[in-house]
Every structure is written in structure tokens, then in C-alpha cells.
């Protein structure tokens, strides 16, 4: 049987043919495609013609195009619909891809050609071409092209091992998340849980052929249980299971993996002549250096701390007044925070969810994108998908020109990692014979429909949808020539701007009034309830800011070590996060062992980027507020200067072209109610 991964996909829009792709296709296909790409690289490197942009850089950009597509399919499946077999294949393939990358980046003849063009810097190059050329040159330098002997060999070994270790880290977290469930058979244990939470738990139990109710560590189950359960002992049990993921000294424990990963990253950075891994990473970020990152997060910490302490004190006092004894612990916080929120704003998820039916929310977000950017969405039924629940949409310009395919995968499954993310199955470029348009995917873990109700989203889930849709817009509207800089191929501390900008509409009355419609009656959300959502938007903003900053402090600490680390992982984390801590210490707890963003994803020495981008998005949205939240001119400027440009120019250049100035943290503090005048 022909391997479908070895040729351009003969499908509508050249979409991935998931219906005929089998796990056994991946290894032989990728082996063959790596061999072909290796051959192409040697031809480029040994081209007898004098190096120029077309015969070297253009050729490299087109190298391994099909290989890249197949790898995207593999890794996206491994995140969204994995199996033991697929995980084993990813473990086999990952070092092969790392070795391929090392061969490319350490090819001296090839680097010589790139260096020649770089030093020549032809005047005829476009701005995008200059960026691409600079990226290639820097990438070769940063990946050991000028290393020799043992250092060269060791650098390649480290890259290969890290590619496997980070995969393993994520697999351990997924396994630990799936391993635990809380099975309840006595209805008295459900006190406080709304009907929608009980019904979902009953369905989960049925799926496991159990009587009663089952709660898992998947967010749509875990978060509502922690918010609503009046049973403190069960909340503690759920919290403990969540906080001990990959931290139980079993086969899935990640503590030794963390040590190995951070030490290898340190060694890699020091081979490259850098003090630590953060310094190495940040040279290709907007922040540029650890000192600037630390100054940034410290300034936000200083501004947030008084408000976070006030938030904690408020909850502690409220809990005590309502019968809670002792400190509010981490397993108490979601419950008492929700109780206080209901008391202050007279609002609850159970009251709000009927107005956020998933299908209607999707329509509202599509309509918002149409209103801002003039794009249209059409559901397709002839595109193969990797799971029956996945939906596919064709995205087009107002004039009908095709822009992108959009895959939507909303609900938790055993084979899907937790959280939410945007990715793509194909990027965009205009380098070949015809323009290649992207195939973008949004993957979430939203509340499932039940036997009696469709999928009804919490306010936070709507916010998550908007966030990931912002990333998707960045991927779908890109208009670059070169694939290496298109879409979300931007600096890590810039990539969250489009996503976080979209979150702003969730507390805008004009948009909420259109999208919040009762799934049964069709009535709009009452104005009183709608206003409560807006009034509550900065509820516990200080606490939320400190929580995010704590993760940033932890990330920077792990990647600022300058000597081999062989200490206590838990103690190291506690010391790093101590400045932001509000709660009594919990012996043995550790978030690092499940911190996939930095140990299995691309956010190492980059988690601060969420707050960095908040500064950008607060400043950017202030222009919409000034000109109108649906203002087409502002939206068009953001599209042309940010969304379409990808990484084709320096991020601050793009931002200033849109906004006319650099941002400051003042806008974020004011929007969040964290400025000194708010005290």
C-alpha cells in the first residue's frame, strides 16, 4: 500500500488525509523524507555557482517542505489524539529530527555560503529577505556552526537528548493526569456542586462503567469541583492529586528529568559562551537579556503585591466569617474565592453558562472576526479529521479568496493533553510556484455536552476561546513570502499579543450583548447580569497577576543557574516563588514537575512573555477604546502591521508602526485596577 505521507496530499485544499494515515506510516515516511532533505542540503551546499539569495536562502526555505508537514501532523496528533504507539513513534522520530537539524546547522560549506551573503548584504533585498537572511545567519551561529571538535559533537548530542527528554516530560504529565480519578457514590459528597457538574461527572462514571460520579484532573472536571464542592476533605484530595502530578517517585516522576533538562540547557549555553540558558535564549527575544526580564517582572510584582495581599485577606476574612476555621489553604482558595465573588457581584457560573452555548459563542467570535477583518467562515464536511468531534471551517476574504482551513477540537479526551493551544498543520508562504495558505488548528478542553444540555461554557472558557482564536488569526491572516517568518513564527514574548488582544472583547458590553444568548429561549443576557460580568472583570486581579509572576520567577530561576544543579527540586522551586507566595507552605507540593510550558514546550526563559504581551495588548486595545471597539481602520492597521507580517520585521518596529509609540506598563496597571490610584 502506498504511504500517503510521501507525496503532496491529494485532498481538498491539500488537507491532511487523516482517514488513511496510519501510525506505521510515520517512521518510514520521515526516514525517507529526511534522506531526501539531506541530499537537497548537500546540493545547495556544494552548488558550484557563487552563493546568492536565490540559490542558497530560497533553496533552504523550500528544503524539506513535505517533511515539515508530516512532522506537524505527527506532533499535533501526539498532543491532541495520542496513544502509546504514537508516543513511541515520537520518541523514535524526535532524535532523528534533532540529528537532521544538527547536520544542517553544522554544515560548514552551507554556513560559508550564508555567511558570504550575510556579509555582502545586497541592497536589492527586501525588508523581509533581510530578516530571513539575518535569522539564518544567527540560527547557524546559535546552533554551533562555528564550534569545532568535541564542542561541536557535544552540542549536537545535547540537542538530540533534549528533544527526547522534553517529549518524555509531557508524556509523564499526561499519564499522571489520566491516572487519577475521584469516584464518589454517596450523593452527600456532592454538596455544593451545580447540576451541570454533577451531570458531567455521572457521564464520566458511565464511560468507565461505574455507578455514581467520577471527577478527573482534566480542567472541565477539576476546576468546577474545586470551585463548588463544599467538602473540604475531597477538595484537598483533588488538589493534592493535581499538585503531585509527576512528583510521586514513580515511573512518571519528573524531578530527575528537570535536573537533566536544566543542566543540559546550561551546558549548551556555556558551550556557546553564555553565562546561563536565559542569556542564550533572550538574545532572540524582545526583552534581550535576563536583567531586563527580571526588572520587568519585579516592577509588576511590586505593583501587584499590595493588591494580592488585599485579595487574600478579603477571602480569608470572608471565609472565617462564614465558618471556615484556620488558614485558607490552596485547596480552599477556589471555593472561597467563588463564594466571595458571588457575594460581591451576585453572579455564578451556573447562572452565566446557559448564555454561552459553544455553537453560539463560535458564531459570535466568527462574527467579531468578520466585523473587524472582513473574513467569513464556512463549515466543511468533506475534510478528513483525526477525531469525529473535530470541526473544519473554510476561511475566506470578503471577496471569496481562500485564506485558511480552521480545525476546531474542543473537548477533553484521554489521548489529549490538558490546556488549550493553537497550532497548524501547514504554514503559509508565497515562495514556490503558487501561494501556500495555512491550515490552522485550535485545541481546547472545554465542558462537554451532556445528555440534557449542549456544551455550555464558563466565562473563563469563553475567554480561553477568544485567546486561542487570536493566535489563530495570527496564523490565518499571515501574508509573508517566506515560511520561516510567516504566521506565529515570531519572538516568544511577542506571540501572545494577538491572542491577549482578543480577550479584551469579553468585557465589552457591545460584543457581550450580541454573543450572550440563552441556548433555550434565545433571549439575550439580561443587562443586569451582563453588567455584573463587566464589573467583576478585575476581581482578584492582584492575586492573578502574582500567580502568573510566580510562574515567571520560577522559570527564570531554573534557567539562570550557572552551575550544574543537583539539589532538591522542590526546595529550589519554593525559594524561586517565595516572593509571590500568599499561602501556607504545603510540604512536598511542586508545580515544576507538571510545568509543561517550560519543560515540554517552547517557553523556557520565556514565561514572562504572557505578562510582557499583556502590556502590549492593554496599550493596543486602548486605541480600539479610543476609536471604537469595532473600528475597521484600527483593525485594518493591526492586521496589516502585525497579523500579516509574522516575524518578517522586528516586533517593536511592527508594534510602533501600528500604535505610533512604544507601550508602558501603566496601561496594563490601569486596566487591571492595579495602579496606585486604585488603592
Q: What is the pLDDT of residue 676?
A: 59
Q: Is residue 263 in some structural domain?
A: no
Pairing assessment for the beta strands 439-443 and 402-409 based on DSSP bridges: parallel
- Determine the 3-state secondary structure of 246 from DSSP: coil
Query: What one-character-per-residue DSSP string does 254-273 give?
Result: -HHHHHHHHHHHHHHHHHTT
Q: Residue 588: which region, alpha, beta or left (left: phi > 0; alpha: psi -120 to 50)?
A: left
**Among 522, 539, 556, residue at a domain's last position:** 539
**Residue 456: strand pairing partners:** 357
What is the Cα–Cα distance from 72 to 54, expressed in whole angstroms? 26
Percent of the chain with pLDDT over 90: 94
Dist. CA 354–CA 365, nearest whole Å: 17
Alpha carbon 193 to its chain centroid, in Å, reads 30
Residues 516 and 368 in one domain: yes
Q: Which of residues 487, 510, 539 is at a domain's end?
A: 539
d(CA 201, CA 195): 10
Cβ atoms of residues 332 and 235 within 8 Å: yes
> CATH no. for residue 440?
1.10.1370.40
Query: 382-400: per-residue pLDDT in tens?
Result: 999 999 999 999 999 999 9
Asked whether residue 18 is domain-assigned, the answer is: yes
- Both 364 and 341 in one domain: the answer is no
Yes or no: say if 31 and 6 are a contact pair by the CB < 8 Å rule. Answer: no
Instruction: Please check whether residue 207 lies inside any domain of the structure.
Output: yes
On average, the pLDDT of the chain sits at 96
Same domain as 434, residue 382: yes
Q: Which three cell numbers stand for residue 53?
A: 539569495
Task: Give pLDDT < 50 ranges for the chain.
Answer: 678-679
Q: Is 370 found in the same domain as 508?
A: yes
**CA pair distance 615, 236, nearest whole angstrom:** 35
User: By C-alpha distance, which of 217, 297, 331, 319 is closest to 584?
Assistant: 331
- Does 110 share its domain with 196? no
C-alpha–C-alpha distance, residues 442 and 469, integer Å: 7
Is there a single domain that holds both residue 562 and residue 535? no
Q: Which residues contact 420 (CB under 8 A, 6 or more apart)?
A: 442, 443, 444, 445, 464, 467, 468
Q: Output the CA–CA distances (angstroms, integers) from residue 153 to 99, 144, 160, 374, 458, in the order listed.
A: 11, 9, 11, 52, 51
**By residue range, what is the domain housing residue 199?**
180-243
The residues annotated with a catalytic role in the active site are 468
pTM to 2 decimal places: 0.92
**DSSP H helical segments within 414-526, as ranges?**
459-476, 496-503, 509-515
Element holding 619 (H helix, E strand): helix 609-627
Rg (CA), the chain: 25
Q: Tell me, yes or no, whether 437 and 529 share the same domain.
A: yes
Q: What are phi and psi of 415, to 5 degrees?
A: -90, 10
Q: Which of 401, 384, 381 is nearest to 393 (CA)?
A: 381
Helices (H), 328-458: 333-345, 349-352, 358-373
Question: Is 142 among the domain residues?
Answer: yes
Cα–Cα dist 537/507, whole Å: 7
Give percent helix, percent strand, percent coil of the chain, each to the nearest 5: 60, 5, 35
Question: What is d(CA 655, CA 143) in angstroms, rounded to the nearest whole number?
Answer: 29
Rounded CA gap, 140 and 110, in Å? 10
Pair 410, 471 in one domain: yes
Distance in angstroms (rounded) separating the CA atoms of residues 243 and 588: 9
pLDDT at res. 451: 83
Is 162 within the bounds of a domain?
A: no
Exposure of 651 in the CB half-sphere (CA atoms within 13 A): 21
**CA dist., res. 25 & res. 5, Å (int):** 7
**590 and 247 Cβ atoms separated by less than 8 Å:** yes
3-class SS letters over 305-335 = HHHHHHHHHHHHHHHHHCCCCCCCCCCCHHH
Beta bridge mates, 406: 393, 440
Residue 185 covered by a domain: yes
Flag whether 252 is in a domain: no
3-class state of residue 387 by DSSP:
coil
Task: Report d(CA 214, CA 200) in Å as an integer.
Answer: 9
CA proximity to 542, closest of 667, 678, 346: 678
Contact 222, 216 (CB under 8 A): yes
> How many domains does the chain divide into?
4
Q: Residues 143, 106: contact at Cβ < 8 Å?
A: yes
**Same domain for 27 and 139?**
yes
667 lies in a domain?
A: no
Residues 398 and 501 in one domain: yes
The whole-number pLDDT of residue 679 equals 46
Residues 71, 187 within the same domain: no
The Cα 28–Cα 344 span in angstroms is 60
Instruction: Determine contact, residues 420/386, Cβ cutoff 8 Å.
Output: no
Query: Which of 572, 600, 628 lies at the terminal end of a domain, its last residue?
Result: 600
Q: Are residues 364 and 300 in the same domain?
A: no
**DSSP class per residue in 86-144:** HHHHHHHHHHHHHHHHHHHHT-HHHHHHHHHHHHH--TT--HHHHHHHHHHHHHHHHTT
Q: Taking a C-beta distance cutoff of 8 angstroms, is the pair 57, 115 a contact?
A: no
Amino acid at each position: 500500500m502506498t504511504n500517503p505521507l510521501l507525496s503532496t496530499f491529494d485532498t481538498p485544499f491539500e488537507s491532511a488525509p487523516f482517514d488513511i494515515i496510519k501510525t506505521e506510516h510515520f517512521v518510514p515516511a520521515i526516514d525517507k523524507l529526511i534522506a531526501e532533505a539531506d541530499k537537497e542540503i548537500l546540493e545547495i551546499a556544494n552548488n558550484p555557482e557563487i552563493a546568492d539569495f536565490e540559490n542558497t536562502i530560497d533553496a533552504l526555505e523550500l528544503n524539506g517542505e513535505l517533511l515539515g508537514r508530516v512532522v506537524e501532523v505527527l506532533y499535533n496528533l501526539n498532543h491532541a489524539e495520542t496513544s502509546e504507539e504514537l508516543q513511541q513513534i515520537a520518541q523514535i522520530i524526535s532524535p532523528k529530527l534533532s540529528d537532521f537539524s544538527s547536520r544542517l546547522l553544522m554544515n560548514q560549506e552551507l554556513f560559508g555560503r550564508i555567511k558570504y551573503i550575510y556579509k555582502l548584504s545586497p541592497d536589492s533585498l527586501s525588508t523581509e529577505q533581510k530578516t530571513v537572511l539575518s535569522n539564518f545567519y544567527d540560527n547557524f551561529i546559535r546552533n554551533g556552526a562555528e564550534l569545532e571538535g568535541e564542542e561541536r559533537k557535544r552540542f549536537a548530542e545535547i540537542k538530540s537528548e533534549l528533544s527526547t527528554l522534553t517529549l518524555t516530560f509531557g508524556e509523564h504529565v499526561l499519564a499522571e493526569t489520566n491516572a487519577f480519578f475521584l469516584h464518589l457514590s454517596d450523593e452527600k459528597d456532592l454538596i455544593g456542586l451545580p447540576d451541570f457538574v454533577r451531570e458531567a461527572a455521572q457521564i464520566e462514571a458511565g464511560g468507565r462503567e461505574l455507578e455514581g460520579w467520577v471527577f478527573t484532573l482534566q480542567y472541565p472536571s477539576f476546576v468546577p469541583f474545586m470551585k463548588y464542592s463544599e467538602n473540604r476533605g475531597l477538595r484537598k484530595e483533588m488538589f493534592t492529586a493535581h499538585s503531585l502530578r509527576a512528583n510521586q517517585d514513580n515511573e512518571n516522576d519528573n524531578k530527575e528529568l528537570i535536573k537533566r533538562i536544566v543542566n543540559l540547557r546550561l551546558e549548551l549555553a556555556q558551550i556557546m559562551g553564555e553565562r546561563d540558558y536565559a542569556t542564550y535564549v533572550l538574545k532572540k527575544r524582545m526583552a534581550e537579556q535576563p536583567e531586563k526580564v527580571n526588572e520587568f517582572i519585579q516592577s509588576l510584582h511590586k505593583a501587584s503585591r499590595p493588591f494580592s495581599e488585599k485579595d487574600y485577606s478579603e477571602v480569608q476574612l470572608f471565609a472565617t466569617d462564614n465558618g471556615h476555621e484556620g488558614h485558607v489553604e490552596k485547596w480552599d482558595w477556589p471555593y472561597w474565592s467563588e463564594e466571595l465573588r458571588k457575594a460581591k457581584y451576585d453572579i455564578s457560573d451556573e447562572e452565566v453558562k446557559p448564555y454561552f452555548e459553544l455553537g453560539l459563542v463560535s458564531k459570535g467570535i466568527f462574527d467579531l472576526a468578520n466585523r473587524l477583518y472582513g473574513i467569513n467562515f464556512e463549515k466543511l464536511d468533506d475534510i478528513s479529521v483525526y477525531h469525529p468531534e473535530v470541526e473544519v471551517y473554510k476561511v475566506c476574504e470578503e471577496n471569496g479568496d481562500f485564506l485558511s482551513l480552521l480545525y476546531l477540537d474542543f473537548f477533553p479526551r484521554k489521548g489529549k493533553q490538558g490546556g488549550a493551544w493553537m497550532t497548524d498543520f501547514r504554514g503559509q508562504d508565497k515562495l514556490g510556484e503558487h501561494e501556500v495558505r495555512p491550515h490552522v488548528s485550535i485545541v481546547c478542553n472545554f465542558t462537554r455536552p451532556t445528555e440534557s444540555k449542549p456544551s455550555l461554557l464558563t466565562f473563563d472558557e469563553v475567554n480561553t476561546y477568544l485567546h486561542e482564536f487570536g493566535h489563530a488569526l495570527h496564523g490565518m491572516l499571515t501574508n509573508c513570502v517566506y515560511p520561516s517568518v510567516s504566521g506565529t513564527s515570531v519572538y516568544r514574548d511577542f506571540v501572545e499579543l494577538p491572542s491577549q488582544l482578543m480577550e479584551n472583547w469579553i468585557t465589552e458590553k457591545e460584543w457581550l450583548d450580541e454573543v450572550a444568548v440563552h441556548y433555550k429561549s434565545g433571549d439575550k443576557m439580561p443587562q443586569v447580569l451582563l453588567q455584573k460580568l463587566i464589573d467583576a472583570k478585575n476581581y482578584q486581579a492582584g492575586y492573578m497577576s502574582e500567580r502568573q509572576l510566580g510562574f515567571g520567577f520560577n522559570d527564570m530561576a531554573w534557567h539562570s543557574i550557572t552551575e550544574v544543579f543537583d539539589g532538591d527540586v522542590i526546595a529550589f522551586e519554593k525559594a524561586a516563588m517565595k516572593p509571590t507566595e500568599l499561602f501556607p507552605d504545603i510540604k512536598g507540593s511542586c508545580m515544576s514537575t507538571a510545568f509543561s510550558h517550560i519543560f515540554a514546550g517552547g517557553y523556557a526563559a520565556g514565561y514572562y512573555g504572557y505578562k510582557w504581551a499583556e502590556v502590549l495588548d492593554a496599550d493596543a486595545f486602548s486605541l480600539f477604546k479610543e476609536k471604537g471597539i469595532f473600528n475597521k481602520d484600527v483593525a485594518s492597521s493591526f492586521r496589516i502591521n502585525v497579523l500579516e507580517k509574522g516575524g518578517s520585521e522586528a516586533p517593536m518596529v511592527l508594534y510602533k508602526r501600528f500604535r505610533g509609540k512604544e507601550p508602558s506598563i501603566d496601561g496594563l496597571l490601569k486596566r487591571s485596577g492595579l495602579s496606585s490610584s486604585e488603592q
